[in-house]
A and B are shown apart, each in its own frame.
Chain A
Amino acid sequence: MKFGVVRFPGSCDEVDAQLACERVGDAVLLWHADRDLQGVDAVVVPGGFSYGDYLRAGAIARFAPVMESVAEFAREGGLVLGICNGFQVLCEAGLLPGALLPNETLRFVFRQVNLQVVDSGTPFTRACAPGDTLSIPTKHASGRYFSPAPVDVVLRYAPGENPNGSQDDIAGVRNEAGNVFGLMPHPEHAVDPLTGSVDGLKIFESMRASLTSRVAA
């Protein structure tokens, strides 16, 4: 089981994402200028400030050579997880619906949030039960989710915990096929008891379980 974590200039959470993936499998970093995905079984687009987030968060990164391969990988059904800036990149690339706007408060938010699992049937949440609560840190300036059309919601902020003004408390959405998932909070920062919560591990365990059952099928 090999995860590939994309590294853009300006990424800053790719190493934590790699370490989180390594708790459930192998993981390599994929450089933004390389088209070769090195035969990975799943792709993680991590958090940070890709290309400085100039213009709009994620707007420039979607044109990186590696993203062409990630888009093709997603079209073929490969699992793609976008975290924070990665979520913004996947929305800008059209791999996920909607857009992420500056926080309602115009402030950078950095806090632990409780997330409700709305859809536990996805390859990214199958280790959760519906209605489970995950305690995961969030840290972003542009996390206000907006979509003019109905979307497939996977995670919501618990009542009263919406940190950014997201429409309908949306914290994470999937594409229609279910193989691409993006969320603003950072599951890769919640995989070790040392940092307070291991709930983020469930996302990576779900991906491993999904890939294992695919191989077995």
Chain B
Amino acid sequence: MRVRVLVSPKQGILDPQGQAVERALPALGFEGVANVHVGRLIELDVEDPSQVPAMCDALLTNPLVEDYEIVETAPAPHPQPAAHPQHLS
């Protein structure tokens, strides 16, 4: 199973990355943008998706300062596509 873990800063904790992006957008002419937060996306292929919450609590996130949301997507494709483009030489 392909699983996506969406990690975001906990509400109420200062998110300087989100603030920097929020300030930058109007400078480029994009108006009406608010509440920007920058988090992290972790993708995993797992045999047992029920283990993912425990993985999140143990390592993938720091529950003290981060929230997470687990999204199950399509089954992992087989065989795995090449992770990197071939080197050109």
A165 sits at the interface (CB 8 A): yes
Does B33 belong to the interface (CB within 8 Å)?
no
Asked if B62 contacts A56 (CB within 8 A), the reply is yes
Q: Within the complex, which residue of A92, A103, A146 is in contact with B13, where a contact is CB–CB below 8 Å?
A: A146
CB contact between B16 and one of A55, A105, A148 (< 8 Å): that residue: A105
Q: Is the CB of A99 within 8 A of B64?
A: yes
- CB of A24 closer than 8 Å to a CB of B: no
Our pick among A63, A99, A106, A165 for the contact of B65 (Cβ within 8 Å) is A99
Q: Which residues of B sit under 8 angstroms from A144, Cβ to Cβ?
A: 14
Question: At the interface, yes or no: B34 with Cβ under 8 Å from chain A?
Answer: no
Output the nearest chain A residue to B42 by Cβ-Cβ distance: A55
Q: Which residue of B lies closest to A97 (CB)?
A: B64
- CB of B3 within 8 Å of the partner chain: no
Instruction: Judge whether B16 and A106 touch: CB under 8 Å.
Output: yes
Complex: A165 Cα to B13 Cα, angstroms: 11
- The interface residues of chain A lying within 8 Å CB-to-CB of B14 are 101, 104, 144, 165
Q: Which residues of A contact B64 (CB under 8 A)?
A: 98-99, 146-148
Query: Which chain B positions have C-beta within 8 A of A98?
Result: 64
Tell me if A19 counts as interface (CB < 8 A to partner B).
no
For chain A, which range describes its interface: under 10, 10 to 19, 20 to 34, or 35 or more residues?
10 to 19
Question: Is chain A's binding surface mostly helix, strand, loop or mixed?
Answer: loop
| B interface size (C-beta, 8 A) | 10
Chain B min CB distance to A63 (Å): 8
Q: Is the CB of A92 within 8 A of B17?
A: no
Interface residues of B in 8-30 (CB under 8 A from A): 13-14, 16-17, 20
- Whose C-beta in chain A lies nearest to the C-beta of B40? A55
Task: Say yes or no: is B6 at the interface (Cβ < 8 Å to chain A).
Answer: no
The reply to whether B13 and A106 form a contact with Cβ atoms under 8 Å apart is no
Q: Which of A17-59 contact B (CB under 8 A)?
A: 55-56, 59
Q: B60 on the interface (CB 8 Å rule)?
A: yes
Apart from A55-B59, A59-B59, what 14 extra A-B contacts exist at CB < 8 Å?
A: A55-B60, A59-B62, A60-B59, A92-B62, A98-B64, A101-B14, A102-B16, A102-B17, A105-B16, A106-B16, A144-B14, A146-B64, A148-B64, A165-B16
Mark A residues whose CB is within 8 Å of B: 55-56, 59-60, 63, 92, 98-99, 101-106, 144, 146-148, 165
Question: Lowest 5 A-B CB distances belong to which pairs?
Answer: A99-B65, A99-B64, A106-B16, A104-B16, A99-B62
Chain B residues with a Cβ under 8 A of chain A? 13-14, 16-17, 20, 59-60, 62, 64-65
Q: Could you list some 7 contacts between A and B, CB below 8 A?
A: A59-B62, A99-B65, A102-B17, A104-B14, A104-B16, A105-B16, A106-B16
